Structure 1
Amino acid sequence: MMDYKKTLNDFIFYIIAEKGLLRNTVLAYKADVLKFINFAEKKRVPLESFEHNDITDFLWEMKTKGLKPRSIFRVMESLRQFYKFLNSEDLTENNPTLYLAAPRIPENLPDVLTFDEVDLLLNSVNDYDEVHVRNKAMLELLYATGLRVSELINLKFSDINLEDCFLRIIGKGSKERLVPFGNKAKIFIDIYLKKRKRCLSVDDHIFISRLGKKLSRIEFWRQLKNIAKNTGINKNITPHTLRHSFATHLLKGGADIRFVQEMLGHVSITTTQIYTHLDKDRIVQQHKKFHPRG
């Protein structure tokens, strides 16, 4: 019988070294597999002898404890990776996860701003002191590039090329991508940098607080909430709303989905495809325009 503690530690090393997963994902996988190991010990069945029914019993137990379909889906993926590891290490020839049916996950479509709402939001920052100009530059850059808020606040001077208007981004999984931005964003970044005080941070971040330190994501979120409140837009506007709007508006304008995938830093195109579901009007128009009986 395998040493479960050692096996779990080896598995964690495997998904860090071989898969390059993020810390939060690694912790989630570890917690899922630990629960699974505890279940196996309670059931008194060695993992190498587990069958399909044993896996479904474990998933059912997770469901009865209140786990939602999305979380159960993640647990299933954790177990798939775990058994893949066990197989690769010749710890078992068995893989009871092969034919697991994924739970039906309700589709939560993100809030997206219209073109007019984006204009209203971006044009609502009119003051020209350092903080307001910083906020304006950040909002323009978010909408111009579709960055994640963590990528935005971590931008350094070495990441931006103002002359050619592109950013070098290290995203999830340490994947590097180049993201262009337009003239509007460039103009307000230039204005901000002329007003910006000397950065006190040794990391040389572009967007800083009043104290000259790197701006936190919480502070930027708070600033955005205050700006959005004054626009009267009746939507829950977060930094991610501009990312969603960026992707949706690009696709609505006819951009190739693989270009949008690259800009967003999505590993899988299926993640990007959610934005094609948001523009039902365009789908109807395209059908009417191109179908012979439209």
Structure 2
Amino acid sequence: MSDGSLIDRFLEMMAAERGASRNTLAAYRRDLVQAAELINGSLGAASADDLRKLMAEYQSLAASSAARKLSALRQFYAFLLDEGDRDNNPALDIARPATQRPLPRILTHGDVEQLFSRAGEEAAGEAPPVNAVRLLLLLELLYGSGLRASELVSLPRRAVAGGREFLIIRGKGDKERLVPLSERARETLDRWLPLLTGASPWLFPSGKGHLSRVRLFQMLRELAARVGIDPAAISPHVLRHAFATHLLEGGADLRALQLMLGHADIATTEIYTHVDSRRLVELVNRRHPLARMPLGSADVDLTTSSA
């Protein structure tokens, strides 16, 4: 069977059984087709030595890109092994390129306050510009609910549920989750809904579809420039990161944060635990039971034993 047919079968499985998104499938296809073009012979029949030579071709790439390509190969060969098209997975013999996951850029509380202050001013009054109210709501949902950019721009009007206390989000892998809607966001939503015209099913319509991620990115950078913040420091993901970081600083539970962010693995959520050491020390000193126990308390005597 040709490499093209094997890749098609693998991607069909990823879509049907694992719910891989369209973007994920496209990325796998690009990586596997490129590998098939570079390898000496058939990709489906490649040996571990063939794959080592292939990975040598990727040395000029960033470690994270090479690691992603190796991950695609490992899953591809695991599929062929399960299907009986191979009796081994040669990609397992290849060392994964060392990567260090970078922390997203950080917005301070002051930065966030400036963004909201300006957006609120622009959307104030009895007849504010429609685009100003839209921008304020987008900001509320990015920072107040931690949505991904793709989730936010593609929100349908019917996503608002539970008496407007929650949003129904369809995230990665086509999985649904409930995300709390803050009182501030609900108030802005109540201002936005009457401004929607037409029969578009989207909460943020634009043209024949919905607002694009590129336009969302531009709007945020334009707002940052208006308040004197470096536009390069702002993006939808930076605001999502600020949502997670500031919630953790306020004492949020990591598991609850995982559910709100829609992470399949809590290890992904742990990247947001980069709080400074001084705060951790302060947390132990204030919250640990020993913090409330007098030093040298007679209630605890470690010098005696009842044995």
TM-score by length of 2: 0.82
Match of 1:30 in 2: 29
The alpha carbon displacement at 1:284 in A equals: 4.1
**Separation (CA, whole Å) in 2 of partners of 1:14 and 1:50:** 23
Amino acid at match of 2:118: S
Are the counterparts in 1 of residues 144 and 243 from structure 2 also a CA contact under 8 Å?
yes
Is 2:183 the counterpart of 1:183?
yes
The alpha carbon displacement at 1:37 in A equals: 3.0
Are the counterparts in 2 of residues 48 and 94 from structure 1 also a CA contact under 8 Å?
no
The alpha carbon displacement at 1:175 in A equals: 0.5
Match of 2:294 in 1: none
Is 2:81 the counterpart of 1:87?
yes
Higher RCO structure (Cα 8 Å, ≥6 apart): 1
**Separation (CA, whole Å) in 2 of partners of 1:208 and 1:7:** 39
Structure 2 gap segments, 5+ residues each = 291-307
Amino acid at match of 1:222: Q
Amino acid at match of 1:89: E
For the residue of structure 1 that corresponds to 2:96, the secondary structure is coil
**Separation (CA, whole Å) in 1 of partners of 2:224 and 2:278:** 26
1:63-74 alignment to 2 at 5 Å? 63=59, 66-74=60-68
Structure 1 gap segments, 5+ residues each = none
Is 2:243 the counterpart of 1:249?
no
For the residue of structure 2 that corresponds to 1:36, the secondary structure is helix
Match of 2:219 in 1: 223
Question: What is the CA deviation profile of residues 68-106 of structure 1, one whole-angstrom value per residue up to 9, with x for unaligned ones?
Answer: 111111111111111111111111212222243221213
Amino acid at match of 2:156: K
Match of 1:150 in 2: 150
**Separation (CA, whole Å) in 1 of partners of 2:7 and 2:219:** 43
Question: What is the CA deviation profile of residues 85-139 of structure 1, one whole-angstrom value per residue up to 9, with x for unaligned ones?
Answer: 1111111212222243221213321112122221221111213312212211221
Is 2:102 the counterpart of 1:108?
yes
**Separation (CA, whole Å) in 2 of partners of 1:46 and 1:99:** 16
Match of 2:54 in 1: 58
The alpha carbon displacement at 1:39 in A equals: 4.1
**Separation (CA, whole Å) in 2 of partners of 1:105 and 1:260:** 25
The alpha carbon displacement at 1:187 in A equals: 1.2
**Separation (CA, whole Å) in 1 of partners of 2:283 and 2:55:** 43
Amino acid at match of 1:9: D
Match of 2:298 in 1: none
Residues 1:162 and 1:232: Cα distance change in structure 2 (over 3 Å): farther
Amino acid at match of 1:262: L
Q: Among 116, 119, 127, which residue is 1:122 paired with?
A: 116
Residues 1:120 and 1:79: Cα distance change in structure 2 (over 3 Å): same
**Separation (CA, whole Å) in 2 of partners of 1:287 and 1:162:** 37
Match of 1:268 in 2: 265
Query: What do you get for the CA RMSD once the two structures are aligned?
Result: 2.6
**Separation (CA, whole Å) in 1 of partners of 2:107 and 2:161:** 28
The alpha carbon displacement at 1:225 in A equals: 1.5
**Separation (CA, whole Å) in 1 of partners of 2:208 and 2:32:** 43
Residues 1:49 and 1:237: Cα distance change in structure 2 (over 3 Å): closer
The alpha carbon displacement at 1:49 in A equals: 6.2
Are the counterparts in 1 of residues 36 and 43 from structure 2 also a CA contact under 8 Å?
no
Are the counterparts in 2 of residues 162 and 186 from structure 1 also a CA contact under 8 Å?
no
Residues 1:46 and 1:174: Cα distance change in structure 2 (over 3 Å): closer
Give the aligned length: 283
**Separation (CA, whole Å) in 1 of partners of 2:229 and 2:37:** 49
Match of 1:160 in 2: 160
Match of 1:282 in 2: 279
Percent identity, aligned pairs only, is: 38
**Separation (CA, whole Å) in 1 of partners of 2:153 and 2:2:** 43
